[in-house]
Amino acid sequence: MCRNITVLRGLEPSATAEEIEAAARQYVRKVTGVQTLSDATREPFERAVAEIAEITTRLLGELPARRQPPTTVPPLRRPEVRARIAARQAR
């Protein structure tokens, strides 16, 4: 597994749509090698992200509860990451 993709099953509170979409985006980036979108890659890339996020949401809803929570905290739950995102959006 790509080390940048965090385990989302068993989080309390449950994984958010934003966390699922971020994991799907990271997965598509990894398997395609596309880091910067162009006119030629944008539409298929974004469609793949949406489809994988949808499948992941369904999968997480169908799996039984975990016995133990994940050992890592998803990046989008870390205060320093949230601060970086807010600063980038403010620009």
- Per-residue model confidence (pLDDT) at position 1: 46
- Give domain status of residue 42, yes or no: yes
Burial group, residue 20, by CB count within 10 angstroms (0-12, 13-18, 19+): buried
| Mean pLDDT over each residue of the chain, to the nearest integer | 90
Collapse the DSSP code of 42 into the 3-class scheme (helix H, G, I; strand E, B; otherwise coil) and give the result.
helix
- Give domain status of residue 34, yes or no: yes
- Give domain status of residue 12, yes or no: no
User: Is the pLDDT confidence value at 2 over 70?
Assistant: no
pLDDT band with cut points at 50, 70 and 90 for residue 7: confident
pLDDT tens string 23-52: 999 999 999 999 999 999 999 999 999 999
The parent domain of residue 67 ranges over 17-90
- Give domain status of residue 64, yes or no: yes
Give the predicted TM-score (pTM) of the model: 0.81
